[in-house]
Amino acid sequence: MILRVEKLKKTFGGLTAVNDVSFDLMEGELSSIIGPNGAGKTTLFNLLTGHIRPDEGRILFKERDITGFQPDRVCRQGIGRSFQRTNIFPKLTVFENVQVAILSIRRKSRSLFSTASRMLVGETMEILESIGLAEKRNVTAGLLAHGDQRLLEIGITLGTNPELVFLDEPTAGMSPEESWKAVELVQRLARERNLTLLFIEHDMEVVFGISEKVRVMHLGSILAEGTPEAVRADEEVQRIYLAEET
């Protein structure tokens, strides 16, 4: 077991955004949390990554209590995150985008007088090759096509050498074809690097194809948990998604 979430709770004013959420993630597992808008998925992510502090409950990563850690410290434990909006460093080159992440995780960022452009070149190029952006290494990241920017975002996350990665709607804003390419890439990377992945998705179709386990969130709680087939057949889940569509 790599992550254990125990009775997590967060309220904003009178609204309970996340209510008594508990689950475990096994090492190497590919799973997802789905749910309609406003179900509390993003708040749950922000709790898990240290952006907000839970009111109650505990988060254990590899049996270490990381509840209340700041995001930079959470990241250093080996937890990566990709963001819902494209979240890169637009004025840096593709190479530098990934390199700053590796420098940080290797604790080299504080170095004041060594020359960055020659450091960790091999490591950076290896990641760029695995996400297919090696040839665009010198391009300013902000000028990349949207799909490539999303790939780069994954590259930055890989740069932090994570064991567990949270992916917040990784295919948002992609064409169906791009979505499948991105999903295949993530699947391949997870296999190669033995990553544990947790997706958040609004769209059921994308994650059902690859998830081993699906959790459905509704009104701040986890409503159902199981294999994609089981969840798809669950009457209550059907009711929520149907209700949202009408």
Partner 1 sequence: MMSEFLKEMKSGKWIAVLVCVAAFALLPIVLQEGYLSLVNEMLILAVAACGLNLMMGYAGMVSFGPAGLYAVGAYTTGLILVYTKIPFWLALAAGPIMAGVVSVVVGWFCVRLTHVYFSLLTLAFSQIIHTILFEWYDFTRGDDGIVDIPVPSFLSSITHYYYFSLVAICVCLFVLWKIVNSPFGKTLQALRENPERTEFIGINVRRYQLAVFIISGVFLGIAGALYCGFNKNVFPDFADMMKSTEMIVVCLMGGIYNFLGPVVGSVVYMFLDKLISSNTHYWPLVLGCVIIALLIFMRGGVVGFVSEKLAPRGEERG
Binding residues for partner 1, rule: CB under 8 A, are: 49, 70-73, 75-76, 80-81, 83, 87-92, 94, 96-97, 99-101, 103-105, 108-117, 119, 136, 138-140, 143-145, 148, 156, 159-160
The residue (of 7 and 146) whose beta carbon lies closer to partner 1 is: 146
Tell me the closest approach of the beta carbon of residue 144 to partner 1, in angstroms: 4
d(CA 70, CA 23): 22
Tell me the closest approach of the beta carbon of residue 134 to partner 1, in angstroms: 12
The residue (of 90 and 176) whose beta carbon lies closer to partner 1 is: 90
Tell me the closest approach of the beta carbon of residue 199 to partner 1, in angstroms: 17
Tell me the closest approach of the beta carbon of residue 42 to partner 1, in angstroms: 14
The residue (of 148 and 201) whose beta carbon lies closer to partner 1 is: 148
214-218, long-range: CB within 8 Å, 24+ apart, which pairs? 214/31, 214/32, 214/33, 214/34, 215/23, 215/31, 215/32, 215/33, 215/34, 216/33, 216/34, 216/35, 216/240, 217/21, 217/33, 217/34, 217/35, 217/39, 217/40, 217/41, 217/44, 218/35, 218/36, 218/39
d(CA 31, CA 72): 24
The residue (of 66 and 240) whose beta carbon lies closer to partner 1 is: 66
Tell me the closest approach of the beta carbon of residue 148 to partner 1, in angstroms: 6
The residue (of 2 and 100) whose beta carbon lies closer to partner 1 is: 100
Q: What is the edge-to-edge ordering of all strands in the sheet holding 30-34?
A: 79-82, 164-168, 196-201, 30-34, 213-218, 221-226
Q: Which amino acid is at 49?
A: T
The residue (of 138 and 246) whose beta carbon lies closer to partner 1 is: 138
> Looking at residue 140, what DSSP letter applies?
B
Tell me the closest approach of the beta carbon of residue 106 to partner 1, in angstroms: 9
